[in-house]
Structure 1
Amino acid sequence: MRIHAEELLTFLAVAEANGVGAGAQVLKRSQPAVSERLRTLQAAVGEPLYQRAGRGIRLTAAGESLLPCARRLRESLDAVENWSARRHALQEGSLRIAASNTVANYFLMEHLARFRGRYPGVQLQLKTGPLTDNLPLSAWDLLFTEEQIGGGSLPQHMEQTAWREDELVAILPRDHPWVREGRQWVRWEEVLAEPIVWREVHSGIRRRVEAAIACAGLRARYSVEVTGVEALRDAVAAGLGIGFASVEALDKVRWPLASLRLEPPRGLFWTLYLIRPRADFRSRAVRAFLELLAADG
């Protein structure tokens, strides 16, 4: 017969109060209800756990042997309640985020810093780099991507939504003739006549630019390829060619570079995506971070 925690806690209260009636008062339950639980527990154990002694009780050998187990159960349950209270208050927990380098460095860090300041007990884990096809999506609480992932690749408990839109621009040295002419934009035909510094293959910015060039009926040229935003900046500043970057990223750093709009007059834009658990599957840490993102705009 299975023994339930409520029965053991009832026995513990009666044993420590030295009486069924006194134990019922501690538990704030009726004495018949307490007696019924004790009978059920004794039936499961298969022998008596206490005997009446005057107005109180005296534990049998079996009862004395069971008492430490009941106390350890109470301690464990108290620890679980304390753990739950700490997670409710976000005094502990974890938040696992995967993001591309560009998104992590220029779109997420200030939000993560604010979250950390507000909830220092929550452990943050941030994976940066290319979000390749073999990345286990379900191993992360939130994923920030530079491209939309096919719905068939998403775990059933997760959803994908457009997070924010940003403009992509050409970046070039400040002494470039176009900059000295005071130009504000440049056409693809002009861009493709120049050497180009490309990001790595998995870069969302690179893929968006390649798609725009193909849509214009043109063919991209590949002369220089670098890995990472910093390498792109240094290569363009050194005069190796024209690069492409996010306007919001440029707003947050002081690069010795100029920028020109693409696809005039509308400009070239890209969308960043957020993969998150569906509402019923979000931890408190995930909900708190999403609320912070929404509040920060």
Structure 2
Amino acid sequence: MYFHSEDLLAFLAVAEAGGVGAGAEVLRRSQPAVSERLRALNEAVGEPLYQRSGRGIRLTAAGEALLPYARRLRDVLGEVQGWAARQHALQEGSLRIVASNTVANYFLLEHLASFRSHYPGIQVQLKTGPMDDWAPSALGAWDLLFMEDAVDAAALPGHFLQRPWRQDEIVAILPQDHPWVREGREGVDWPELLREPIVWREPLSGVRRTVEAALTRAGLRARYSVEVTGIDALREAVAAGLGIGFASAEALDRVRWPLASLRLNPPGGLIWTLYLILPQVPFQSLAVRAFLELIGQDPDAAKTP
């Protein structure tokens, strides 16, 4: 046997209104349509649920037993409708974001704060860390991924795609009392730079990989003088005079470090691209669409190629 919710709700309306015609008026349906619902429900139960009584009806024992279940169904459906209305109004929902530490700290946090102020009912979850350790398993399990490198398209779930999100410049960072800074220089080329000790971020750092790729293209290799983990350790090592490091120019604009910066390999500089992995339009939640709009990304641009 199979019960349709509409049949049960029709039965409930008729039972509470005291008649088929009155129940049809409550439901704003025709009386024949409601009668057909009741007939189907009677067949599914296997016995009559009501009897005619004058101009109204009287419930049978089976009808009386079914009535509380029908009321609970109405209550649950009302809760579902309320939940859907809150989702639609972005008063409830979730947004799950994955980002590298650099992207999260210097490119996303202010956007997330703004999103929370606009939609305080949305539960926001942000996971950060070295991306290569776990990013492949996060594909499809999270709503948005902000990456420092492009991901192999073959690794993306079928309903996800990636696109360039924003560009930034990587610069050399060095102490303010370094001779190059005192000379008033604005940039340094690779051969001269590599005569200095270098402070490197950990191998999974997107900044490090971008610099290493640029050196490889130039046919150069750097000495691995010092290697540290994390942007804070990099800052402290460079400030202590252990060598020259590399960092995002935009990130430096957002913090007050006692360091100077120089453009790499001028005049072009070293530009890197950050990528966004997102669901295609039919698979985007309302929260995802709202966040994409907030960061200046057109949600409808995420169409199947």
* TM-score class, shorter: over 0.9
Q: Secondary structure at the match of 1:138?
A: coil
Letter in 1 for 2:217: C
Q: Which residue is equivalent to 2:101?
A: 101
1:97-176 equivalence runs, <5 A: 97-132=97-132, 134-135=134-135, 136=137, 137-176=139-178
Q: Which residue is equivalent to 1:36?
A: 36
Cα RMSD over matched residues? Answer: 1.1
- Comparing 109-118 with 214-223, which one deviates more in the overlay? 214-223
Matched, 1:221 2:223: yes
Q: Which residue is equivalent to 1:2?
A: 2
Q: Which runs of 5+ in 1 are unaligned?
A: none
1:5-24 equivalence runs, <5 A: 5-24=5-24
With normalisation by structure 1, the TM-score equals: 0.98
Deviations 1:129-183 (A, max 9, x none): 1111543111110000100110011111100000000011000000000000110
Identity percentage of aligned residues: 73
Return the alpha-carbon distance in structure 2 between the equivalents of residues 24 and 264 of structure 1.
79
Q: Which residue is equivalent to 1:243?
A: 245
1:289 to 288, 291, 297: 291
State the shift of 1:264 in Å: 1.1
- Comparing 221-230 with 132-141, which one deviates more in the overlay? 132-141
Q: Which residue is equivalent to 1:179?
A: 181
Letter in 1 for 2:218: A
Return the alpha-carbon distance in structure 2 between the equivalents of residues 203 and 228 of structure 1.
8
Q: Secondary structure at the match of 2:213?
A: helix
Q: Secondary structure at the match of 1:195?
A: coil
Q: Secondary structure at the match of 2:120?
A: coil
Deviations 1:187-212 (A, max 9, x none): 11111111100000100000000011
Question: Which contiguous aligned blocks of 4+ residues in structure 1 show a shift greater than 3 angstroms?
Answer: none
Q: How many residues align?
A: 296
Q: Which residue is equivalent to 2:79?
A: 79
Q: Which residue is equivalent to 2:303?
A: none
With normalisation by structure 2, the TM-score equals: 0.95
Q: Which runs of 5+ in 2 are unaligned?
A: 299-305
Return the alpha-carbon distance in structure 1 between the equivalents of residues 270 and 57 of structure 2.
83
State the shift of 1:220 in Å: 1.5
State the shift of 1:44 in Å: 1.1
State the shift of 1:96 in Å: 0.5
Q: Which residue is equivalent to 1:231?
A: 233
Deviations 1:243-263 (A, max 9, x none): 001110011001000000011
Return the alpha-carbon distance in structure 2 between the equivalents of residues 259 and 30 of structure 1.
77
Letter in 2 for 1:101: N
Deviations 1:194-235 (A, max 9, x none): 110000010000000001111111111101011111111111
